[in-house]
Chains A and B, each alone.
Chain A
Amino acid sequence: MIGFCLPGRFEALAEPYAMMPPAPLNAWIHISTTNLVTIVIDKSEMGQGILTALCMIAAEELDCDWKTIRTEFAPAAKEYFNPAFGMQGTGGSSSVRSSWDPMRKAGASARLMLLQAAASEWRVDPSTCRTENGIIYHDASKRSTTYGNVAIPASKLPVPKEAKLKDPKQFRIIGKPTKRLDTPEKVDGRAQFGIDVRQGAMLYAVVARCPVFGGKVASFDATKAKAVPGVTNVVKISSGIAVIADNTWSAMQGRRALDVKWDEGPNANTSSESISKLFADQMSQPAAEARKEGDAATALTNAAQKIEAIYEAPYLAHATMEPLNATANVLPDRVDVWAPTQFQTVAQTMAAKVAGVKPENAFIHTTFLGGGFGRKAGADFVIEAVEISKASNRPVKVTWSREDDTQHDFYRPASYAKLSAGIGADGWPVAWTTRIACSSIMEAWFPGSTKNNLDPTSVEGIANLPYSIPNIQVDYVRTEPGIPVGFWRSVGASQNGFFSECFMDELAAAGKKDPYEFRRHLLDKAPRQLGVLELAAQKAGWDKPLPAGRYRGIAVLEAFQSFAAQVVEISVDRKARTVKVHRVVCAVDVGRVVNPINIVMQSESAVVYGLSSALYGEITIAEGRVTQTNFNNYPVLRADAMPKVEVHIVPSEEKPTGAGELSVPPVVPALCNAIFAATGKRIRRLPIRSEDLA
């Protein structure tokens, strides 16, 4: 197990570690007699840099030598529950926010135990000892010892009820630009992703799933599939027909040869057009109230000017670079699962249920995730691996093709919104209303979890509109077209940020005001939004003219308790109907920063993710199935379209919050607003189409 879970990080140190199991001081910190500090990482590392951030937080309080740190991913267990979810999982940009206190306490408590163990050996008062860089000193007697020397006696001490935390002024690691610990193994092919797992005598499987959502297998004939060299078996499982082989390629070939008749179920006639119409019909239906301030209806009627717009956002696939996969080994009394999962305890519960063992006998081994973006919160791929292993009496790895991954996602919900605003004679808004129709993610994933038919994820990014507008009403009509939906990097803010910040731009234009000054004026009660807005505008040189042919747009949003503003600079070739994004200036406020390098990297990453969605992202439905298959018809941003991205961080002593999703939402409206500046045309439906650029 250790060999698998600890894939060669600082492998020079791995040998003594393997021989000498480290002493656990608590659930997160183990120290070996050879002075190796193991930090147990209870969040999934999917690119967001959490592994390094958690080590920084713990090491700060532990006072250890940074060079002695190694990491392992946590098993599924109660002590690793994410308080943001009440289960073990990574998402919602909650990792630093939720681990800040526990990891600091774990570090401080372990340090105190080590110090107490040394003091007890020296028979001195612990308060006369100090620690520095993994060494405990008793200055009065000029004695010192390493953490490793006292790790075993320290691990036998009771965990202190309280351990004093550092004053942030003393921080020497937190806030310092720190290189990621997982980089070396990601440049030589050694990093173990789920798809890289190999178990003895393992078989390889792919699954044929009904192309229509909600459909099922009517009948199948495995004769031709079984005739493919390498194919060992074909079995029916809950999600479809599994083709099992002695290598992945043969399994894929076998699936191609498989004859399946599908019962396509009730969604066989669903299309993008029928879904859009379904949403449009909801605009006059009773709705759940997400926000109501003042009397928007009356204020709208009485306004000097009224503007109204329909906005639409499509379904989006996550398209993680690592397609979904999982490896399972079902034995009579236990099941082991190796998977790139974001939700360990969900995987554990489902694996145990399918394997028919007790939950405590389902062992989840989290690997690196080759991207997650919310998709790997699902347990569907884990369930498949367990079902197939159970049917095979062997370890089995199930691998999804890119086509499987694109066509059987839990999509960012398509959404339809009607926005109205009233503008006073002075050009300032007096009323804002929005009605949104889309699927509920929360009801799909956690049935019964929403109240009054209001899913907060469906309205986030617009219900929390930060502007000083006296009358605001935001309504939601839950509408279920039968397409599976899920958490997609930045969730509701991804589409609602587009709606709200583009419509704000429409208001600014209607009131004949500068889009930046307009927002700035209306953010008088939202200091953190104002802070990032002003920083982005200043760094972008909003007050200075642009070179000929360049245009810019601005947007600001709160997401996951963090704040971001961006200025996007573009040029449009109206003849060729193309847009080129030249520069994106980001300002972020994530409270106290743990690792500034990581905040910058995550902002760059989010900009690319958002731009991909705005420029190309669209999953369409025809005859109940997804039209797109692979990167040829679900394109994403490539190197030659990469703009210059600049990231500026607002210094803050507020509690730390997340950066992984924050900068996805603003880039979309900022880009669309820049296109309006260039063409005079509003983009109200994504992705941006060539006719929008004419």
Chain B
Amino acid sequence: MAIQFMVNGKPQSVDVPPNMPLLWVLRDTLGMTGTKFGCGMALCGACTVHIEGEATRSCITPISSVAGKKITTIEGISPDRSHPVQRAWIEVDVPQCGYCQSGQIMSAVALLAKNPKPNDTEIDEAMKGNICRCGTYQRIREAVHHAADLHKASATPSSLDGAGVTLDAQNERAIEAGGAA
């Protein structure tokens, strides 16, 4: 039976086993490969997406549990890398191999949405679930502070919201209907 949900403001409908993790639906079924596979056990954070604004490990999230829900992935936080977190990541030269950075960025976006001015301890606490084998942690810390400043300096309060992409109202209604069915 098809399962319906929203990804980055677009309605999606997939016919896959209900226990298939969201990660593999995104990557293999929908071809959205920005969200990464790292461990399959919610240990490394590479697969982090937002479900209804909450940072969630998609590798252990069965697709059936997101029916009718709004999901934001790395592809959806801005259309042009203009999100303060993305800008900060570029300005602070965070990525090395880059593989874990989608997950790092999604965790950072979720952190700043809840806590616009986190201190180092709060950053470490929010980010310690995301492993980086290139060891970019020091720069991530700096970039999260920088993103907080960028946000304060320029952006509207909503720009740190995980669902940076405005949802199309009609689509939203459609998915709610589908999800309830």
Contacts and interface: CB of A to CB of B under 8 A. Distances in A.
Interface string B144-181: 00000000000000000000000000000000000000
A369 interface: yes
Contacts of A247: 16, 20, 24, 28-29
A80 B105 CA distance: 35
Nearest to B33: A196
Interface stretch (A53-61, A382-390, A432-440, A636-644): A636-644
Contacts of B4: none
A195 B46 CA distance: 13
Contacts of A580: none
Given A47-B96, A607-B135, A632-B43, A249 B20 contact: yes
B90 A323 contact: no
Contact of B43 (A252, A369, A631): A631
Contact of B123 (A45, A184, A322, A639): A639
B106 to A, nearest CB: 10
A274 B86 CA distance: 50
B96 A639 contact: no
A597 B17 contact: no
A48 B134 CA distance: 9
Contact of B75 (A189, A192, A401, A601): A189
B69 interface: no
A636 B136 CA distance: 13
B10 interface: no
A179 B93 contact: yes
A601 B81 contact: no
Contacts of B40: 252, 401-402, 630
Given A49-B96, A323-B37, A640-B128, A608 B24 contact: no
B27 interface: yes
Contacts of B6: none
A373 B74 CA distance: 26
Contact of A601 (B24, B39, B96, B100): B96
B41 A183 contact: no
A371 B37 contact: no
Contacts of A612: 133
B135 A248 contact: no
A642 B137 contact: yes
Interface in A20-69: 45-49
Interface centre among A45, A196, A229, A636 (most CB of B within 10 A): A196
A644 B138 contact: yes
Contacts of B68: none
Contacts of B137: 608, 637-639, 642
B50 to A, nearest CB: 13
A550 interface: no
Interface in A241-258: 247-250, 252
Contacts of A186: 95, 98, 101
Interface in B101-115: 101-102, 105
Nearest to B87: A187
Interface residues of B, number: 59
Given A401-B40, A630-B39, A47 B97 contact: yes
B71 interface: no
A205 to B, nearest CB: 12
Interface centre among B17, B34, B132 (most CB of A within 10 A): B132
Contacts of A630: 39-41, 43
A322 B36 contact: yes
Interface centre among B28, B94, B100 (most CB of A within 10 A): B28
Given A247-B20, A322-B36, A399-B37, A369 B28 contact: no
The B interface, classified by DSSP as helix, strand, loop or mixed, is: loop
B34 A190 contact: yes
Contacts of B56: none
Interface centre among A187, A250, A323, A637 (most CB of B within 10 A): A187
B99 A371 contact: yes
Interface in A127-142: none
Interface in B1-58: 16-17, 20-21, 24, 27-29, 31-41, 43-44, 46
B33 A187 contact: no
B131 interface: yes
Contact of A183 (B28, B73, B90, B129): B90
Interface string A161-187: 000000000000000000110111111
Given A249-B24, A631-B44, A642-B138, A189 B99 contact: no
A321 B28 contact: no
Interface centre among A247, A249, A372 (most CB of B within 10 A): A249
Interface centre among A252, A373, A608, A640 (most CB of B within 10 A): A640
Contacts of B17: 229-230, 249-250
B133 A609 contact: yes
Contacts of A320: 97, 99, 133
Given A401-B40, A636-B133, A638-B128, A645 B93 contact: no
A188 B74 contact: yes
B37 A48 contact: no
Contacts of B100: 321, 370
Given A187-B86, A189-B102, A604-B139, A321 B95 contact: no
A193 interface: yes
A191 interface: yes
Interface in A401-441: 401-402
B135 A637 contact: yes
Nearest to A180: B93
B81 A188 contact: yes
A560 interface: no
A639 B95 contact: no
Contacts of A17: none
B34 A189 contact: yes
Contacts of B133: 319-321, 371, 373, 608-609, 612, 636
Contacts of B125: 640
A630 B59 CA distance: 14
A248 B93 contact: no
A198 interface: yes
Nearest to A229: B17
A503 interface: no
B29 to A, nearest CB: 7
Contacts of B98: 47, 182, 185-186, 191, 193, 368, 370
A185 B102 CA distance: 10
B93 A183 contact: yes
A85 to B, nearest CB: 21
B97 A323 contact: no
Given A46-B97, A183-B90, A198-B31, A605 B135 contact: yes
A518 interface: no
Contact of A638 (B16, B32, B95, B131): B131
Nearest to B85: A187
A204 B34 CA distance: 18
B96 A248 contact: no
A640 B126 CA distance: 9
Contacts of A187: 81, 86, 89-90, 94-95, 101, 105
Interface of A: 45-49, 179-180, 182-193, 195-196, 198, 204, 229-230, 247-250, 252, 319-323, 368-373, 399, 401-402, 597, 601, 604-609, 612, 630-632, 636-640, 642, 644-645
18 contacts: A47-B134, A48-B96, A187-B89, A187-B95, A188-B34, A188-B86, A321-B99, A322-B99, A370-B98, A371-B99, A601-B96, A607-B135, A630-B40, A638-B128, A638-B129, A638-B131, A639-B124, A640-B124
CB-based closest 3 A-B pairs:
A189-B34, A608-B135, A370-B99
Interface of B: 16-17, 20-21, 24, 27-29, 31-41, 43-44, 46, 73-75, 78, 81, 86, 89-90, 93-102, 105, 123-125, 127-141
Given A180-B95, A321-B133, 9 more contacts: A183-B95, A187-B81, A187-B94, A188-B74, A189-B102, A321-B100, A608-B133, A631-B131, A640-B125
